[in-house]
Structures are given as C-alpha cells and as structure tokens.
Amino acid sequence: MLMRGLRIILPIALFLGLIRFWEWSVVYLEIPPFILPPPSAILAVFATDGASLLGSAWTTLGTTLAAFTLATVSGTALAALFASSRIAEAALSPYAVILQVTPIIAIAPLIIVWVGLDNAWLTVLILAWIAAFFPVLASATAGLKAVDPNLRDLFRLYRADFRQTFIRLMVPSSLPYLLAGIKTAGGLALVGAVVAEFAAASGNTDGLAWRILEAGNRLQIAKMFAALLLLALMGVVLYAILSFVEWLLLHRWHGDRRHA
C-alpha cells in the first residue's frame, strides 16, 4: 500500500515542483513570453480559447480512436491469418514491414493526392492507422505462435479442430502479447494522428496539430503550450485506460500482471 501511494504521490509532487520552478524562473530571468510563457499564461489561454482548443481536441481524439480501432481489428485479423497459414505470412509480411518502416511524412503527399484535398480527415485517418497497425500485428502474431507445445499436443490428442484450438488455446495464450501491442498502438495512433495533421497542413483537419501551427504562425506560444498540454493529457489518459483493461483481463491468469 505504501509503494502504491508513493507511485501516485511522487510524480504529482515532482510535477507541481517543476511547475513552480518554471513559473519562478520565467519571472526571475525575465524570459520573453514569446520564447517561454509561464504556466499561469498557459492556463489563462483556456479562459480565452478553451472552446476552440477543446473542439480541436475532440477532433484529434476521434481520429485517434478510429485509427486505433481499425489498427486493432485489422492487425489482429491479419495475425490470425499468419498464425493459420505460413504461405500467407510469407507472402504478406514483407509488405507489412514496408508499411511500418516507411515514414508517414513521406507518404502523406501521396495519400492526400489519392483521397483529395477535400477529404483531409480521411488522409489523417489512414496515416494514423498506418502508424498504429504494425505493433498490433507483430505482437498478436508473436503471441499466437508462442503457445505451449505441450498444450497444443494435448489439443491434438483430443482431436480438437483448428477453430477450437484457436479460440480455446491460442487466443487466451496470446492475450499478454496482444494487449501489450494494443497499448503501444494506442500511443502511436495519437502520434500518427498529430503527425498526419501536420502533414496535411490544411484548415480542413481542424485538429490540435492545426491549432499548434496556427498559433506558431501568430507567435501565440502560450496557446501552443496549451494545445501540447491537451495532447499530453489525452495520451496519458489513453495509456491509463488501456493499462487498466490489460490488468482487468490478465490479473487472474498471469501473476506478473497483478502489480502492473
């Protein structure tokens, strides 16, 4: 109980201390606000531009969740195909790797041309999906292949077909791998959405990245920091939710997850 309390209290105390030092150092060193605004100025932005920032945050969050869902479904489905067919894995896995190692910023212009400038939201969705897809595929594939050979032989002994083996053995055994990949994909979906909004560089996206660009062009540095704060909060909350889901599904089966 003491360690759990410290894991909560210490980060909060450190954060408050850093904020206090930041506020003091900006005032004491007389740093111009267009270089580094104090935290009080960043908080004041929410009173004047909070509505537009929150609206943009909902846009980015919606794209992130949509890309994350698509990546989870498509990555898990393709991993199941890889686990059931070595031919399919040999044929398709190189293309999955190519999709992963190709920088998003490099293929963004092609996606924009293909879907059209009027569909900037679709461009952002596709690029965010690309960023989040591979971790789910790799983790799910590794988990489906990491089944205990003795258990697999036991299922064969009882003449279980592939569907029974897949549902009753392979899926439960692969959950730790899959959920670890999903946690990674959640953060990458948010990063991919923001990078895609930067790459699209269009007011049609109306996400937080566009607000950051807009504020930067107008030297509204405090507004930029406010948008970054919202992005950080979104990422932390998303990671915390996925970590809780992981603990909820695994704490009774896997002892190493009980104290996660």
Question: All domains of the chain, ordered by start, with CATH?
Answer: 38-248 (1.10.3720.10)
The pLDDT value given to residue 60: 92
pTM over 0.75: yes
Report the percent of the chain where pLDDT is more than 90.
Answer: 33
The C-alpha atoms of residue 108 and residue 98 are separated, in whole angstroms, by 15
The answer to whether 162 and 84 are in contact (CB under 8 A) is: yes
pLDDT at 62 over 90: yes
> In 10 A of CB 118, how many CB atoms?
9
The pLDDT value given to residue 155: 79
Q: What is the mean pLDDT of residues 34-39?
A: 89
Tokens found for residue 178: 């899959």
- Split at pLDDT 50, 70, 90, the class of 172 is confident
The C-alpha atoms of residue 189 and residue 112 are separated, in whole angstroms, by 18
Report the percent of the chain where pLDDT is more than 70.
Answer: 94
The pLDDT value given to residue 253: 66
The pLDDT value given to residue 157: 78
pLDDT at 252 over 80: no
pLDDT at 255 over 80: no
Rounded to the nearest integer, the mean pLDDT of the chain is 85
pLDDT at 109 over 90: no
Q: Mean pLDDT lowest for which of 39-48, 151-160, 174-183?
A: 151-160
Provide the 3-class DSSP secondary structure of residue 260: coil
Q: What is the dihedral of CA 209, 214, 218, 219, to 10 degrees?
A: 0
Q: Around 156, how many Cα atoms within 13 Å sit in the side-chain half-sphere? A: 6
Q: What is the mean pLDDT of residues 225-246?
A: 92
Q: DSSP H helical segments within the chain, as ranges?
A: 2-28, 39-84, 86-101, 104-115, 120-145, 149-157, 162-165, 171-200, 208-217, 221-250
The pLDDT value given to residue 2: 67
Q: What is the mean pLDDT of residues 199-209?
A: 72
The residue with greater pLDDT, 158 or 201, is 158
